Amino acid sequence: MKYGVVAFPSKKLQDLANGYRKRYDPHYSQITPHMTVKGVFDADESEIREVAEAIRNVAKKQKPFELSVSKVSSFAPITNTIYFKVSPNDDLLTLHSALNNEQFFGPLPEYAFVPHVTIAQSLTSGEHDDIIGQLKMIGVDHTEIVDRIHLLYQLEDGSWTVYETFRLQEEN
């Protein structure tokens, strides 16, 4: 089964993202707007219990982090994906590193960590070029504190649902 770890932003930012996703993201109905902190990995039922325990241990040592979005950006020309760029900060980078290393379950990330909330994907180059400028001009400015992460799993229909939620609660 496929799993991943995400942070869900507030309803306010989700609503803003969904305003674009309804039109520009074919995965709109499969997953709520989110920021991935550990990409997709495979695990069976016994392994996922170990993974959940490992995530629980990571979450106990991590502080809640600031999720600050201040611009629209794109992964073009690699992919025609448009996203709200999340400003990296020490707490977020520490969390990502704790979930993505040789000692932690699953593969190492294929790309450098670019924290973001996707608002458009699977666009043709023409579609991408038509809307990126407009979205950059409209812009975005949102900041909040995220105090939990979620282990998700993928259902047979391709949609994702929460397996377990973990509070970030740094223990001294």
The pLDDT assigned to 146 comes to 98
91-123 residues labelled b (16+ CB within 10 A) or e (exposed): bbeebbebbbeeebbbeeeeeeeebbbbbbbeb
Low-confidence ranges of the chain (pLDDT < 70): 106, 171-172
Edge-to-edge, what's the strand order for the sheet holding 35-42?
Answer: 35-42, 2-7, 148-154, 160-167
Q: What is the pTM of this model?
A: 0.93
Q: How confident is the model at residue 123, as a pLDDT?
A: 96
The one catalytic residue in 27, 96, 116, 142 is 116
pLDDT of residue 171: 65
Based on the residue annotation, tell me whether 116 is a catalytic residue of this protein. Answer: yes
pLDDT at res. 172:
53
For residues 159 and 137, what is the distance between their CA atoms, to the nearest angstrom?
Answer: 32
Q: Which of 34, 96, 128, 150 is catalytic?
A: 34
Burial category of 68 from C-beta neighbours within 10 Å (exposed 0-12, middle 13-18, buried 19 and up)? middle
